[in-house]
């Protein structure tokens, strides 16, 4: 039995969809804080169970009979390590034999504030006694293409990434890698650095968006402090401001760029590019 946490989220949902192509639905368990959001999988014969990272009492029943677990990292920055600890401890008690975890590219060395929670979870897995595979996911291309409204309104993308390159890939590609890692042999004990084929800078992103939108979009690179002020003025909470600013600082350092071919080898093809994603993104 294979279970996927966070199955109501974007990456988790794509992973379940991918698993349904290679695993009988009777062998799949989709886990979510709100099981009612998983009716589309229930209708296909997938077992649906409630699992709340922040409520450990929901986890024993959720993981009963599960042999392989795809642990999609929590989206709650600052709470992830405690939440992941609860899941890993429940997996130990349930007799889970393999955990595949979605970490962060260069988690053990990145300047991003996201790094410590991911590297801490990796350490928990190493100490757990459970066989595991670490998927260090790079940035999602959709982090940019799903949030273009402000850039289109103001004619500019803002950031503090300097000329750092971003080896981003799509959620579809990262989900496909997770499906391969949890269903194929030979991945236990491996740490994969997952990066896209066609890295781009923020200026190159702005150029591509300009072509797609049919109007000029500039990239304005700001000192980190000024970028943080802009984000705060836009109403973002302090933890998100810190995460976004530190992530751009990490990009400037090269932490979200990589020449690794792990992603391509796992999915058996080239990864999708920024141009691919923009081509299917509805124009304003």
| Domain assignments of the chain as residue spans, ordered by start | 2-138+169-194+259-268
User: Which architecture characterizes domain 2-138+169-194+259-268 according to CATH?
Assistant: 3-Layer(aba) Sandwich (3.40)
CB 177 within 8 A of CB 266: yes
Q: At what angle do helices 238-253 and 224-233 cross, to 10 degrees?
A: 150
Question: First vs last Cα of the chain: how many Å apart?
Answer: 43
User: How many Å is the Cα radius of gyration of the chain?
Assistant: 19
In three-state secondary structure terms, 74 is coil
Query: What pLDDT score was predicted for residue 75?
Result: 86
- CA 129 – CA 57 distance, rounded (Å): 22
| Strand positions, DSSP E, the chain | 2-4, 28-32, 47-50, 68-71, 98-104, 131-137, 156-159, 191-194, 218-221
Give me the pLDDT at residue 8, please: 95
Mean pLDDT by 10 residues, the chain (284 residues): 96 98 97 94 96 94 97 89 96 97 96 92 96 97 92 92 97 98 96 97 97 95 94 90 93 96 97 95 84
**How many other C-beta atoms can be found within 10 angstroms of the C-beta atom of residue 60?**
12
Rounded distance between C-alpha atoms, residue 156 and residue 221, angstroms: 10
Predicted TM-score (pTM) of this structure: 0.95
């Amino acid at each position: 039995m294979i279970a996927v946490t966070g199955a109501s989220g974007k990456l988790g949902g794509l992973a379940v969809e991918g698993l349904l192509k290679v695993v009988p639905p009777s062998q799949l368990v989709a886990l979510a804080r709100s099981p009612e959001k998983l009716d589309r999988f229930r209708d296909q014969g997938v077992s649906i169970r409630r699992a709340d990272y922040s409520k450990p009492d929901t986890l024993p029943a959720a993981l009963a009979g599960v042999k392989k677990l795809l642990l999609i990292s929590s989206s709650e920055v600052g709470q992830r390590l405690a939440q992941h600890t609860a899941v890993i401890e429940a997996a130990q008690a349930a007799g889970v034999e393999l955990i595949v975890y979605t970490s962060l590219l260069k988690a053990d060395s990145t300047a991003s504030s996201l790094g410590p929670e991911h590297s801490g979870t990796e350490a928990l897995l190493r100490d757990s006694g459970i066989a595991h595979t670490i998927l260090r996911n790079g940035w999602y291309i959709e982090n940019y293409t799903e949030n273009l409204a402000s850039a289109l309104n103001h004619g500019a993308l803002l950031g503090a990434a300097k000329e750092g390159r971003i080896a981003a890939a799509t959620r579809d590609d990262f989900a496909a890698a997770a499906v391969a890692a949890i269903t194929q042999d030979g991945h236990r004990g491996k740490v994969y650095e997952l990066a896209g084929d066609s890295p781009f800078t923020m200026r190159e992103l702005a150029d591509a968006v300009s072509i797609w939108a049919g109007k000029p979009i500039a990239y304005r690179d700001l000192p980190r402090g000024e970028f943080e002020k802009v984000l705060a003025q836009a109403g973002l909470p302090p933890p998100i401001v810190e995460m976004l600013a530190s992530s751009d600082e990490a990009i400037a350092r090269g932490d979200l760029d990589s020449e690794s071919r792990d992603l391509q080898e796992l999915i058996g093809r080239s990864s999708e590019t920024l141009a691919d994603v923009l081509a299917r993104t509805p124009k304003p």
